[in-house]
């Protein structure tokens, strides 16, 4: 960023170390000089919602120098990290003395705003899907092996996977909250209801596979489901149960 000397502003964090936590006092922003940082929030139930992963040249925590006095997310080093710590006075000096820096930051703010809008749209869509499915009759459900939680199947064509608001993937059933290791593909499988039968079909390009009663199924091929069948989407296991 121009000729500004950042050497005395660099701070190092080890892998797994927090740069800051949600609700910490906020007075500085950070520019990543080396390594990667994950930003995330946690729901009241403990579910982790990843806001993004950032690398060299990216900045985060900028709301602190724009007026916010509390952190609104967690910032975690996911590998050894060096960050440039920018206080509000330094930030203002940068903007005043370097028009190129100001333009680059405005562009970054615009990109982040677009990403935030995508996430909001995804959350609204997920909420609408949940609301709609709660009003519909279901012909069967998936019962998670680990928790016993039941996920109703309410339409004749149900896409199961991991939603990704950044690239616009919105499966009908998002099982990413039960898949911390991210073994489920974005569009993993489809369960269809045809006449009196129910079928499962793995989508092309799935990496970690789908297993029906211990046997790996082939992508693009339909398999008829029976009451009590055990299905694994990656490492997420469940039972198929009919009403």
Q: Are 65 and 84 in contact (CB under 8 A)?
A: no
Nearest residue to 152 (alpha-carbon basis) of 176, 124, 130: 130
In the predicted structure, residue 135 carries a pLDDT above the cut 70: no
Structure tokens at 185: 């593909």
Q: Are 39 and 62 in contact (CB under 8 A)?
A: no
Whole-number pLDDT of residue 116: 66
Share of the chain above pLDDT 90, in %: 43
Q: What is the mean pLDDT of residues 128-156?
A: 76
Helix axes 88-97, 99-135, angle to 10 degrees: 120
Place of tokens 């009003």: 135
Measured between alpha carbons, how far is 32 from 11 in angstroms, rounded to an integer?
A: 10
Per the model's pLDDT, the better-predicted residue between 111 and 161 turns out to be: 161
Calculate the CA dihedral of residues 152, 154, 158, 164 and round it to 10 degrees.
-60
> What residue segments make up the domains of the chain, in order of their start?
7-126, 137-242
CATH-assigned architecture of domain 137-242: Sandwich (2.60)
In the predicted structure, residue 224 carries a pLDDT above the cut 90: yes
CATH-assigned architecture of domain 7-126: Sandwich (2.60)
Measured between alpha carbons, how far is 192 from 184 in angstroms, rounded to an integer?
A: 19
């Amino acid at each position: 960023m121009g000729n500004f000397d950042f050497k005395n502003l660099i701070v190092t964090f080890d892998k797994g170390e927090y740069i800051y936590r949600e609700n910490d006092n906020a007075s500085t922003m950070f520019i990543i000089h080396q390594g990667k940082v994950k930003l995330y929030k946690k729901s009241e139930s403990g579910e982790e919602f990843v806001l993004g992963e950032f690398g060299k040249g990216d900045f985060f925590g900028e709301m602190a120098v724009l007026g916010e006095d509390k952190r609104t997310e967690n910032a975690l080093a996911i590998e050894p990290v060096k960050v440039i710590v920018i206080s509000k006075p330094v930030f203002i000096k940068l903007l005043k003395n370097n028009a190129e820096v100001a333009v680059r930051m405005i562009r970054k703010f615009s990109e982040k705003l677009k990403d935030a809008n995508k996430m909001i749209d995804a959350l609204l869509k997920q909420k609408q899907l949940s609301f709609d499915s709660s009003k519909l009759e279901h012909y069967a459900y998936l019962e998670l092996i680990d928790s016993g939680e039941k996920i109703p199947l309410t339409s004749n064509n149900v896409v199961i996977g991991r939603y990704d608001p950044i690239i616009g993937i919105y499966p009908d059933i998002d099982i990413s909250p039960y898949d911390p290791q991210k073994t489920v593909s974005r569009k993993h499988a489809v369960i269809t209801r045809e006449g009196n039968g129910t079928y499962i079909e793995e989508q092309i390009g799935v990496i970690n596979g789908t297993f029906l009663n211990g046997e790996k199924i082939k992508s693009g091929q339909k398999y008829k489901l029976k009451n009590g069948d055990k299905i694994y989407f990656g490492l997420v296991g469940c039972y198929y149960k009919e009403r």
